[in-house]
Structure 1
C-alpha cells in the first residue's frame, strides 16, 4: 500500500502531452475497458463509454482530508458535459490506458486542485452502475478508491471546479440533504469509509 507523498504523474506515452494529434485535431480521450473482475479488455473513447447503457471502464475516486479531519469537496464546473454544478468528492476521473490508478489519482488531483496529496493510500475498489438523469449518460465503472491528506491550500482549475469546501461528517450530511451531489458520491464514500476511519480516527465521525 503506497504511503509516500504523491506527485503528478507523467502522461501515458499513448496520449500526446499537449492533447493535440499531429493533424492538429484534439486527441480523443481514451478509457480502459475492464471486465467484472477489473481485468483490462480494451479501450473506448470517453464519451462513447458513458453513453447509455455504458461500457464498464476503469476509474478512480480520491478523498483528501485536512489535519482537522475535514473532507475536501469540490463542486464541478458548470461547463462540464457530465454532472455539471454538483458537489462530489475531492477528485475523480479515469486512468489513461496503461496508467496505474494510483498515478492517475495523484496526477489528476494536481491538475484539478493544484495540490499533491500526502499519505495517499489505496482504499479498495467498488463497481457501480449510475445513470445521470440530467445528461442521460451512464457511469458503468470499476472504481479504485484512495484516501489521503492535503496540507496545502487548493488552487482549483476553474475549467474543472466551480468551488471547494472542507466539511466535517456532520456538515457533509447537512450539505448532502440541501444541495445536489454526483450520482456516484455516496457509493464511493460508503465503500471508502473503512479506510477513511483508519486515516481520521474515531473522533472524525466518518
Structure 2
C-alpha cells in the first residue's frame, strides 16, 4: 500500500460520496466505505485461512478469511480481489466469483477503533500455493470448509467479526463451496458497479 492510497466513501444506499486516504478512515468514527472480503479455495474445497499481521491497525493477530481489502477509486471489485490476493498472499487465482453482493458490517475493537464497510464477498479458486507477505499476514493454513464452518457456527473457532457474520450466509448457499451460486452483480452497491 502506498501512503496516498484512497478508499471510496459511500452513503447508506451504497452510492459513492467521495474518497479519503486509507490511512485516515479507520478510527473511532470510521465513515462507511467500500471494501471486499474473499474466500480462497483449492480444488478440493479447502479454505485458505489467514492470521492478520500483528502490527495491523484493525484486528491484529486475529484469524480470518483469506483476504480483505479496499478497491481503489474506479477499480472493479474483482480486479481489487485479484490485486490484493497477489500482494498479500502471492496467489494467482483461476477465477473470482461474487457471492454476497450486499454484505455490510460495523464492528468496534476493544480500543474503540471502528471498522464500517460495505463489503461484497467473493470466492476465488487458487491456481497455486500461497506465499504470504508478512507485512499483511502473520500465518496461513488450509482447512476443509465444513470443518471451518462448523467450528465457527459452534463458537469453537474465534475469528474476525466480519467473517463470523459472513459464514452463516455462506453456509446457506449450500454444502459445497465450489458449487455455490454466483451472486447477481446488479445487486452490488452502486459504488461497486463499474
**1:160 positional shift:** 1.0
Q: 1-side partners of 2:81 and 2:157: how far apart? A: 26
Give secondary structure in 2 for the equivalent of 1:53.
coil
**1:37 positional shift:** 2.1
Please point out which of 78, 83, 89 is paired with 2:54. Answer: 78
The 3 A distance-change label for structure 1 pair 165 and 85 is same
Match of 2:65 in 1: 89
Q: 2-side partners of 1:126 and 1:175: how far apart? A: 18
Q: 2-side partners of 1:197 and 1:62: how far apart? A: 18
Larger CA Rg, structure 1 vs 2? 1
Match of 1:45 in 2: 21
Task: Name the count of aligned residue pairs.
Answer: 177
Give secondary structure in 1 for the equivalent of 2:35.
strand
| TM-score computed with the length of structure 1 as normaliser | 0.76
CA RMSD of aligned residues (A): 2.3
Please point out which of 146, 160, 175 is paired with 2:136. Answer: 160
Q: How does 1:9-158 map to 2 (within 5 A)?
A: 19=2, 27-123=3-99, 124-133=101-110, 135-158=111-134
Gaps of 5+ in 1: 1-17, 20-26
| TM-score computed with the length of structure 2 as normaliser | 0.81
Gaps of 5+ in 2: 181-194
Q: 1-side partners of 2:22 and 2:69: how far apart? A: 11
Q: CA offsets per residue over residues 85-109 of structure 1, 9 Å max, x none?
A: 1111110011112211111111001
